[in-house]
Amino acid sequence: MPSVPILGQVALKNNSETGESAAVATLHGVRRIPGGTVIYFSIGYPASTKDTSTFIVGLDKYSPAYSRSNPTTSLAKNMLVDTAGKKVYTSLIPAGDTSWISGHSDCICSDSAGLSDYHSGQARVIYQVVAPMPDSVKSVDVFISGQVIGNVKVDNGPMTPEVDPSKPVLVGMGWPKIDQSAVASSVEPAKSVIDLTTSVADLEQTVITRATPKQISVALASDVLFATDSATLSPKAQVVLQRAAADVKTAGGTGILQVVGYTDDTGSTSHNVDLSQRRAAAVAAAIKPLLEAGVQLPTSGKGEADPVAPNTTAEGRTLNRRVSIVFAPEGGAK
Amino acid sequence: MSRLRRATSGNLTGSIAVVAILALSLAGCAGDGKLTPKASPGSTAASGSSGAMRDESEAVLGWTPPTPVAKTEGKLGDRPIPQPATVPATAEIISVRAGDASTILTWQLSSATDIPVQGLTLNTTDGVRSWPDAVHLVDPVGQKTYAVDTMDAKIDTYCVCSRFPSHVGPDPVRMTSEYPPLSATVTSVSVQIPNFAPVTVSVTR
């Protein structure tokens, strides 16, 4: 048994292309440091791996970063996900980043440049610094090159003993020293924190609840609630209203709940706004008895604004025809 | 369910540019062992209680990935829509792990035939969906469908999941993705992948 901390392991194999063998990624630590959060992990091929000449694990100096300028690099993203707080903590961007020139965003992480002659059976420790997290975050889900290790405890302080990070560091031989000055001078760390959205629906996709740190939206499918171009609730509407009311209550919807109507982009803007307003009013009146006493349901119609799907397909237009009940999470927007 | 296009599984050409062939030179690092461990509050020692540092690669890399608990057969598409998926393939579920705040699906995909899928593998008749859009967990008892978590960057929306492979063949490609937390009473879910038969899997907690 290794004596180094092992918080989770995943197999990395992104493609079946000839020559790419499965690497093992091992998570060793998630640590708060001043100005950031460090992910310590190692990657290597088992000793039995014969062909290590083609080593494609989405990992180089650039790819660990979730790039703000070039999102394609997120395909190999390393990041921390606070699912309870619905925040994603992505790579800090160092000062002097030249992403607008190179197309890649730099990161504050181990530098693999110039390394060669990889040998199977050796696991190399790598670090990457992502955005700082509040002390209230006790555990996170960790993404290493797109593979998830769930429910990892967050500790404080860098892992020690620290060793020279400019040379390869084998597991057990210390931990790469973090470039604290680079962390301190990182560019707008708040921009490395991204809102997470969760989505849960009923089996028929007639009631979809989406949650972000700032709001919860329970969307009712207009196609079930109303006939085409009508604001009169259909006989089938009651089931949908009951499901939506249950979801609103489960999500803690009390107080003021905004009821907002939307349409697809078919028809004139003025007609769509009027139709969506009338539909929102119909839903508000019908669902109020099903909710907690005392809730207020102000209504509005936004027509074709704020689509949740492209209006270029029939399926997308169906999703956009909706009435949403919108409210802040319990305790207010986070 | 959101139908926002996810760049995550789109054209992988751009990703190849950043997916470097990383050749690690580790042969000369034995000298690092001369460094002396130093303690600090909240730290974790690099090696055992003796304080001596040693290469533990063998023990770490000796880990054996978990084996699948269920599998389902289906088809993959090797051509853009509207061409149908025609290549037989196997999806194997390794685990569905439910936590207090999230659920993590780990699965793998393989095909007896090498397929350059170009990120369009899970085409459906109603449009192009990347797998984050298309792979759902379904709780048949609670009558709920769970979609992959997403994050909204300024430019686009991305899944909290593995990228989709650009190539699928006999050696399985492993993927993971994150979903909202399941109800505490859920003991099994149906994993639903377009063009594959739904497969029921026990939930581990």
pLDDT in tens, A172-188: 999 999 999 999 998 88
Secondary structure of residue A126 in the 3-state scheme: strand
Phi, psi of A156 (to 5 degrees): -110, 145
Residue of A nearest to B163 (CA): A75
- Tell me the pLDDT band of B20, cut-offs 50, 70 and 90: very low
Closest approach of B182 to chain A, Cα-based (Å): 10
pTM as predicted = 0.83
Residue of A80, A68, A67, A74 lying closest to A41 (CA atoms): A80
Residue A137 CA to residue B196 CA, distance in Å, equals: 38
- Give the best-scoring range by mean pLDDT among A33-47, A69-83, A98-112: A33-47
Mean pLDDT of B38-43: 38
- CB pair distance less than 8 Å for A72 and B145: no
pLDDT in tens, A247-306: 999 999 999 999 999 999 999 999 999 999 999 999 999 999 999 999 999 999 999 998
Asked if A56 and B21 come within 8 Å (Cβ–Cβ), the reply is: yes
Q: Report which secondary-structure segment, H or E, holds A283.
A: helix A269-287
Nearest CA in chain B to A72: B15
Burial (CB count <10 Å: 0-12, 13-18, 19+), residue A298: exposed
Interface test mutation site (partner A, options B4, B5, B19, max chain A beta carbons within 10 A): B19
Q: What per-residue confidence (pLDDT) applies to B132?
A: 54
- Kindly state the average pLDDT of the residues A302-324: 89
Which is more confident, A49 or B198? B198
Question: How large is the ipTM?
Answer: 0.87
Chain A residue with CA closest to B100: the answer is A84
Alpha-carbon distance of A210 to A216, in angstroms, equals 6
Most A CBs within 10 Å, among B4, B49, B61, to test the A interface = B61
Closest CA to B163 of A13, A91, A67: A13
